[in-house]
Structure 1
């Protein structure tokens, strides 16, 4: 096969993408700095930034003194150019957040779900309601929304139709975008696994920034991971890579929600932690039907209850052993732990996680790895989902609505 020829149009898009991305992540910058940082000629930078200003994608952001010459004009991406929405479809609720292009949160709503195995129709209804609510609360128009990113549990199959496979909550080939269209949602939609959207958020703005090889782990009701290799999220053959929670930690062990036995999720996911505590107390556990509140109560009880402390110490051990597997498999320079349950365990058990990791990982790659908590907190999945339409903008070097790459 002959290599694809690079056209003038391809080069123009590449240059626009390069400069727009540099301004988004590192701006404000002067044209001189843009030329130095990107390797593009001063003439190219001048021409392309003039186009981006004309398109209203970038604006002037003040002046900076130069060495002996006139002050240089600083440029930045215009936060008011458009808005993006990030949606975290969890197993206990749907979180919807609206941002400007500086990723400043302008509105947010959180709708609880009636079951940890929510019916897709209920999720769609909550998602559609939340989307309309944040647009109204922020006082923006629907036409200003660049796109809607959605982080979901399970695997996102992208083909002629986008389908969500979430075996642990009973979803099999759920056509989520089509269902949202049926609810009257006409905005561009971008779907990905929630662990992967959390991973992109932490790589862009949080604890993963600056790393080229990292694993961002999510410990919540379920357990997952985003594997970053050379700056790119590893998707696998059908985008199901990163199902860390369904790697086997105990052969023939506890029954997992997926149907297998011994999965990490059955020991380190919130449901597994609470169930292990109940069994350790002869069937008596924390009296609270809300999973997040129940785990918080268990953690509080660890100060006075040896059983609670032992279950949480064991949980840290399981998480550490699971992280050791990631280190041995992928040799990352950084591991970042997030997810609401991971945050709840937090710094109090991080040292125990590190000790367990050291006990189970190969010494040399372990010594090259840092393990730390995520920086974006419980909003990381929604923030990462909101970056999906932003990534389309940066990749296209312009408004993706003019040449859509959304999933539906």
Structure 2
């Protein structure tokens, strides 16, 4: 088979992408440093950075002394070039955040969802309302795109389909639904654990690792598997459903319809149910997060609460051991609101249990850490999706259109 011919246009896009990515992750840098780091000639670096500066994608960021001669100009990606929005669709609410290109938050809005209001129409209404609110609050006028993290598998084909059985979604065409509701900005949809994973790899506890697993423990349980710096997706993008690996054959019923899944023991709903059965009544609080916090507080005096939490840490440690044996990562990062709450209290026990169940050699070369981006990680990661498109294309991800609907930041009905 003949190899694909590389055109001048392909080469130009590659050079723009390479330089823009290097400036985004490692800048500010001088043109001289860019040439050395990328292997591109000084002339190519000068020409391409000149184009990017003319388009206002990059800007000067001061001077640095050189070895003799004039000081060198430092360049960086211009944070004010545009904004990106990140949406975290959870089981109990929708969080919408707006960021500049340096991923500094500009505005945040949250809308609660009751279990009875997770049908696609209600969720889409909450997303559109949230987008309108953050855009108005920040006065955003150059939004490059909207990233959306969802609690389920995302199938990318002719349509973007979301399969999220825990909220009753089966083959929901989310992008089409958002388009029908008036969103015309570029849309990027991915699994929430994967968006959290990308955020932690770019800016958090995963930064610098080539082989890592970023786990999310909240109402549900998931993971992003990073292999040689790239998120592993599988044949239909459903890889990483760690919460639905079997940990007890014929065990507790899981919300996915199977039995014995890790989520049926480690997910916040399952942990609270186990505590309720052991104690005879529920932990106080109106929401899962409030009840989980009450459980953590009760463990100071209650042996029952302490036992439930230690069991949960054991399930988490055993699940992490499975990840170590399967993927041989250099780093495991524990995130999600319940994962962080549990890890802050019982990380030594989690590590101990993982070590007891994992093979000794790979465990000895794996660090287990807590995520650093907190409760914003899924939305932050979702907002990196349009940034990733910008870096990959080496250009604004918004398609050229007649009029100024997109250029003005409009596009939300």
Q: Bin the TM-score by the shorter chain.
A: over 0.9
**Paired residues of 2:98 and 2:107 also in contact (CA < 8 A):** yes
In structure 2, the residue matched to 1:64 is 64
* Shift of residue 274, structure 1, vs aligned partner: 0.2
| Whole-angstrom distance in 1 between the partners of 2:353 and 2:250 | 21
Per-residue CA distance 1:150-169 (angstroms, 9 max, x = gap) = 00011111111111100122
- Counterpart in 1 of 2:31? 31
Residue in structure 1 matched with residue 207 of structure 2 by the alignment: 209
1:381 to 352, 370, 378: 378
Does residue 1:369 correspond to 2:369, yes or no? no
Q: Secondary structure at the match of 1:400?
A: coil
State the SS of the aligned residue for 1:67. Answer: coil
Q: Which residue of 2 aligns with 1:356?
A: 353
The answer to whether the 8 A contact 1:94-1:110 is kept is yes
1:19 aligned partner:
19
Q: 1:118 and 1:297 mapped to 2: Cα distance? A: 26
Q: Distance in 2 between matches of 1:184 and 1:403?
A: 18
Q: Deviations over 1:174-232 (max 9, x none)?
A: 11111111211111110000000000000000000000000000000000000000000
- CA displacement at 1:287 relative to structure 2: 2.9
CA distance in 1, matches of 2:399, 2:43: 26
Structure 1 position 403, deviation (Å): 7.6
- State how 1:7-406 maps to structure 2 within 5 Å: 7-115=7-115, 118-141=118-141, 144-282=142-280, 284-402=281-399
C-alpha distance in structure 1 between counterparts of 2:124 and 2:284, whole Å:
30
1:311-335 CA distance string (max 9 Å, x none): 0000000000000000000000000
Tell me, in whole angstroms, the C-alpha distance in 2 between the residues paired with 1:23 and 1:350: 36
In 2, the alpha carbon distance for the partners of 1:318 and 1:236 equals: 25
Could you say what secondary structure the match of 1:357 adopts?
Answer: helix
Aligned partners of 2:340, 2:93: CA distance in 1, in Å? Answer: 17
Q: Deviations over 1:76-100 (max 9, x none)?
A: 1011111100000011110000001
Conserved? CA contact 1:116–1:169, under 8 Å: no
Deviates more, 1:128-137 or 1:113-122: 113-122
Q: Is the 8 A contact 2:284 2:290 kept in 1?
A: no
Q: Which runs of 4+ in 1 moved over 3 A?
A: none
Q: Do the aligned partners of 1:198 and 1:384 also contact (CA within 8 Å) in 2?
A: yes
Looking at structure 2, the residues matched to 35 and 58 of structure 1 have their Cα atoms a distance apart, in angstroms, of 16
Question: Residues 32-53 of structure 1, C-alpha deviation per residue, up to 9 Å, x if partnerless?
Answer: 1111111111111111101111
- The 1:248–1:210 alpha-carbon spacing in structure 2 relative to 1, beyond 3 Å, is same
- Please list every run of 5 or more consecutive structure 1 residues that lacks an aligned counterpart in the other structure: none
C-alpha separation between the residues in 2 aligned to 1:118 and 1:400?
A: 30
TM-score, normalising length: structure 1: 0.97
Q: Unmatched 5+ residue regions in structure 2? A: 402-413
Secondary structure at the aligned position of 1:401 is classed as: coil
Contact 1:92 1:116 in 2 (8 A): no
CA distance in structure 2 between the aligned counterparts of 1:229 and 1:356, rounded to whole angstroms? 24
Secondary structure of 2:115's aligned partner: coil
Q: Would the aligned equivalents of 1:117 and 1:170 in 2 still touch at CA under 8 Å?
A: no
1:117 offset after TM fit, Å?
7.0
| Residues 91 and 117, structure 1, Cα contact 8 Å, conserved in 2 | no
Distance, in Å, in 1 between the alignment partners of 2:8 and 2:238 is 36
Q: Deviations over 1:245-282 (max 9, x none)?
A: 00011111111101111100011100010001011123
- Whether the 8 Å CA contact 1:117–1:169 is kept in 2: the answer is no
SS at match of 1:136: helix
Q: CA deviation at 1:116?
A: 7.4
